[in-house]
Chains A and B, each alone.
Chain A
Amino acid sequence: KNEVEQSPQNLTAQEGEFITINCSYSVGISALHWLQQHPGGGIVSLFMLSSGKKKHGRLIATINIQEKHSSLHITASHPRDSAVYICAARPLIQGAQKLVFGQGTRLTINP
C-alpha cells in the first residue's frame, strides 16, 4: 500500500464544473504539496500547506491533519486546467527533506 494515495486516478469533466481531487496519507507529515504537470511539460508547485486552507485564483487546497487527508479543488474548471495533479507528503521525520509522492490524478476538462 502506498503511503500517499490519490483519488480518482482519472477524472473527466465538462468546462465550468467544480473539481475535487483527494489525497490520503498514512504517515505523519510536516507539510503536504500539490503539484501540476501539463502534458509534455515540467512540474509546477501549486501549494505547500501544513494546516487549514490555501487559495490561489480558482484553486483551493485544504488539509485535515487529524484525518490525514487533503483535497485540491478547482472552481469554474477550464480546458487549460487539464493536467496531472500530484500530491506529495513531507514525512515528519527529523531533518526530512524528501517528499513521498502519490500516483497522480489525470484531469481532463472538455469544452
Chain B
Amino acid sequence: DVKVTQSSRYLVKRTGEKVFLECVQDMDHENMFWYRQDPGLGLRLIYFSYDVKMKEKGDIPEGYSVSREKKERFSLILESASTNQTSMYLCASSALFYSGRGTQYFGPGTRLLVL
C-alpha cells in the first residue's frame, strides 16, 4: 500500500513563529504536492515538486516556501506564521502523469492553528 505520512496531525503555533510541516512518501513518486483546505474554498495548491530540488508555485504560494532535498520528503515552511494560515494542510504524491499512473495519494493532513 502507498503510504504518505505527515509529521503532525495537530499543531498549535504562535504568530511569527517559523513552522515546518514534513511529508514523506514511500512509493518513489516523482511528484509531491502541498495543499491547504478551508471550508467553502476546497483544496488549493500551495506548491508542488516534480523532482528533487525542483519546485513550482501553485495557486497560493504567498507566505510559504518548500524544500525537497530527497525524493521521498517534501517540506512546507511557514517563515513567519500568521493567523490567516490557520488551516488543514494536506500533502500528496503521485507518479508522473505521462507514465499513466497519475493517481494522487494523500496524507492524513495536519490541522494547524496559529494563535
Q: By CB atoms of chain A within 10 A, which of B90, B94, B104, B105 has the most?
A: B104
Q: How many residues of A contact B (CB 8 A)?
A: 21
Interface of chain B, main secondary structure: strand
State the majority secondary structure of interface residues on A.
strand
- Inter-chain contact B90/A43, CB cutoff 8 Å: yes
Residues from chain A with a CB closer than 8 A to the CB of B92 are 43
Closest to A94 in B: B98
- Contacts of B94 on A, CB cut-off 8 Å? 97
Residues of chain B having any CB pair with chain A under 8 Å = 31, 33, 40-45, 48, 50, 58, 90, 92, 94, 96-97, 102-109
Residues B58 and A104 in contact, CB atoms below 8 Å apart: no
Residues on B with C-beta less than 8 A from A96 are: 97
Do A48 and B102 form a contact, CB below 8 Å, given A98-B48, A101-B43?
A: yes
How many angstroms between the C-alpha atoms of A97 and B44 in the bound complex?
Answer: 15
